[in-house]
Amino acid sequence: MDFTLSPEQTQIREMVAEFVDEEVVPVASEIDHEDEFPRELVDEMADLGLMGMPFPEEYGGAGLDYHSYALGLEEISRGSGGLGTVVAAHISLAGNMIYEFGSEDQKTEYLTPLAEGDDIGAFALSEAGAGSDVPAMETTATLEDNEYVVDGGKLWISNGSVADTVILFAKTDPEAGNKGISSFIVRPEEDDGFYVEGTEEKLGDKGCPTAELRFDDLRLPEERRLGDEGRGFVQALKTLNGGRITIAARGVGIARAAFEEARTYAGEREQFGQPIGEFQSIKHKLADMDTKIQAAKLLMHKAADNKIRGEDYIKEAAQAKLYASEVSREVANEGIQIHGGYGYTKDFPAERFYRDAKLNEIYEGTSEVLRNTIGDRLLG
């Protein structure tokens, strides 16, 4: 087993890290405070090819493997958790739905501008009464004269208020349970009946707008459906499985930021005549933080490796996402503790890391759901 990064992977990591250090870290606090979509940073990432990292060059992507994509997203999230979510929702969810299940025409027309960063993507699955319980969704799409008429609403949609392309899930056969769900490509600027009801005020993940969407007699041409009718639930599960690798990357990135900040502070802050890092209790905290981060990274890359090899990666992705999510929160919590009273103030970024980390345990599969997934795979 070779843990050495290839020259290309090393180059990608260093390039993204340099961009993050120079362009993202200096404005991360401002992004958190203003909670505005960082359009200029997204445009810069598009110029670097970061908005289409894993997609083939023929569709405008960078053609990177999933290790490189995870490394890139880890670095972006190290700079800003919200920016990490912007990219993950755009690539792993919206873009990947079209790449995996779209026709050639759909890929050319809709995936290419996403991969090139000209368009922003969103993934509209969750509803107020249908989070983990996807088949409980109430949004419907009724076929009438080669058009689907969509009515309903979605909640907690990352990038939902700024997206140019939204992947929408709706029931085409309300009596068929999870086999009655289909997916569609929506173009908010072109399609009448698409409304943004507002965006959420969140604990963290600032800079990534989380929107409530409403569809009122929204009419979509039949050719905007992704794949066959009734396949939407299976498509969503497969897409979320891959997305969990990148949420693991987001968790690792935030944990690294919290650890690095705490380590620096421990070397500078003096109490009782010496840096607090000289005290055994602080050394043990830092040792545990780094050990957990390294373990989370290995789980992340194991899942990515399985995906690249075409092997089953459902359990591995769930484990990576579960562990990295909880590690990010634990490491961020210890970062606050090492900072003491300062860690509880906005004078230091330690509290921001904690707020950003908590989301990892909730979206794209709660920790409780992931434990069920892992258990089901273990028991066959």
Catalytic residue numbers? 364
Contacts of 231 (CB under 8 A, 6+ apart): 101, 182, 183
Q: Which residue has the tokens 């309300």?
A: 174
Give phi and psi for 20, each to the nearest 5: -65, -45
Rounded-to-integer distance, Cα 259 and Cα 265, Å: 10
Q: What is the SS3 assignment for 303? A: helix
Contact residues for 170 (Cβ-Cβ < 8 A; gap 6+): 137, 139, 140, 141, 148, 150, 152, 181, 182, 184, 232
Give the Cα-Cα-Cα angle 107, 110, 115 (nearest 5 degrees). Answer: 85
In the three-class reduction of DSSP (H, G, I as helix; E, B as strand; rest coil), residue 55 is classed as coil
Residues 6+ apart with CB under 8 A from 257: 77, 78, 79, 349, 353
Provide the total of helices (H) and of strands (E) in the chain, helices listed first.
13, 10
Q: 304: closest CA among 246, 263, 345?
A: 246
β-strands 225-226, 181-186 pairing: antiparallel
Work out the burial of residue 178: count CB atoms within 10 Å of its CB; fewer than 13 is exposed, 13-18 middle, 19 or more buried.
middle
Q: Which residues, 6+ apart, have CB-to-CB distance to 287 below 8 Å?
A: none
Contact 318, 335 (CB under 8 A): no
Backbone angles phi and psi of 32, in degrees to 5:
-65, -40
Bridge partners of residue 152, in order along the sequence: 215
